Amino acid sequence: MQNIAIIIFVAWLSLTLAQDNNATQTEADSDTLDGRIVGGWDTKIAHFPHQISLQLNKKHICGGVIVAPHLILTAAHCVLKHTQPELYAIRAGSSFWESGGSYVRIKRIIPHEHFNLPTHMNNDIALLLLQRPLVYSRDIQAIQLVHPTDYVAPHAQLFVSGWGSTNAQQITTATRLHYTALVELDHPSCTHNYVGSGVVTATMFCAGSRTGLGDRDSCLGDSGGPLVTNVEGHFKLLGIVSWGLGCASAQYPGVYTQVSAYGDWLTHLSQSLF
């Protein structure tokens, strides 16, 4: 079943890059289960000003999150060509990944040093250093990470956003930013469901529809994007879209990187870059 998810990701990414004759190699060369907005709604970037579109050869491939004027968080599996940062850029401050806002190229890419260790898709997080800082505005804002001491209620409403596929049966990129509302799901149950298809580690968590019907989910193209929740009146970053089996499946909900587990890693990296 893991191979099915890989084939879907390969087909989708190949389609998004098909018009670029200069693309000699694609992210589809990776052996990954891709993070995957189904059951959601159109929105404006002003509601999610921390969201960016990560682009490879000028095509949207993943989401990302502004954490500082120079720094973006995304999923490590989104930047497999991390030794070639000149191929990547981000678009911030626009509801549309193709136009508007600020288009900035990447200077350096630092995936987690233990990505895919000790299990596949573990430590799926990467930090991007921009060539120039973003200028904050109504539509461009950094977001704080959920701290381990922050209280997040067991069934708190979570919001995931992105330009990924809006239909579990299609492998297209949405033109306009979408979002949907989810809740965190029981970790032991989710871990059990994925036995044989992937390992849900302690630094991951699952999120899906409150109804349990699998009618809401992130989807192909949303990987690396933000999952946020309200902490004492402010949105904070709880997770990064990482992987899953298919989209909008009750049995296989979306799996997210737990960003609070990487606070020390991010602080150390941020200090070493400047």
Cα(119)–Cα(32) distance, integer angstroms: 12
Percent helix, strand, coil in the chain (nearest 5)? Answer: 20, 30, 50
HSE, side-chain direction, 13 A CA sphere, residue 74: 34
Q: Is residue 177 part of a domain?
A: yes
Report yes or no on 222 lying in a domain: yes
119 located within any domain: no
Question: Does 44 fall in a domain?
Answer: no
* Choice among 77, 82, 112, 178 that is catalytic: 77
CATH of the domain at 244: 2.40.10.10
Could you tell me where the DSSP H helices lie in the chain? 2-17, 187-193, 263-273
* 77 part of the active site: yes
Q: Is 124 an annotated catalytic residue?
A: yes
The reported pLDDT for the residue numbered 41 is 76
94, 102, 223, 249: which one is catalytic?
A: 223
pTM: 0.83
14: annotated active-site residue: no
Nearest to 269 by CA among 148, 140, 135, 125: 125
As averages over each run of 10 residues, the pLDDT of the chain (274 residues) reads 36 37 34 45 92 94 96 97 97 96 98 95 97 98 94 90 69 80 91 90 89 56 92 94 76 90 92 79
> 123-157: string of b/e by CB count within 10 Å (b at 16+)?
bbbbbbbbeeebeeeebbbbbebbeeeeeeeeeee
Q: Which pLDDT score, from 0 to 100, does residue 155 have?
A: 85
Cα angle vertex 15, ends 100, 127, to 5°?
55
Please give the residue range of the domain that contains residue 149. Answer: 144-261
Return d(Cα 37, Cα 154) in angstroms, integer.
Answer: 22
Which region holds residue 105: left if phi is over 0, alpha if psi is between -120 and 50, else beta? beta
Residue 227 lies in a domain: yes
At 96, phi and psi to the nearest 5? -120, 130
Q: How many domains does the chain have?
A: 1
In angstroms, the CA 154 to CA 202 distance is: 16
Position 123 in a domain: no
Q: What is the pLDDT of residue 247?
A: 66
Residue 251 located in a structural domain: yes
**Pick from 211, 218, 246: which is nearest to 38 by CA?**
218
d(CA 146, CA 259): 7
Nearest of 161, 142, 143, 145 to residue 35 by alpha carbon? 161
pLDDT score at 197: 85
Inside any domain, residue 46 = no
Of the residues 124, 139, 217, 222, which is catalytic? 124
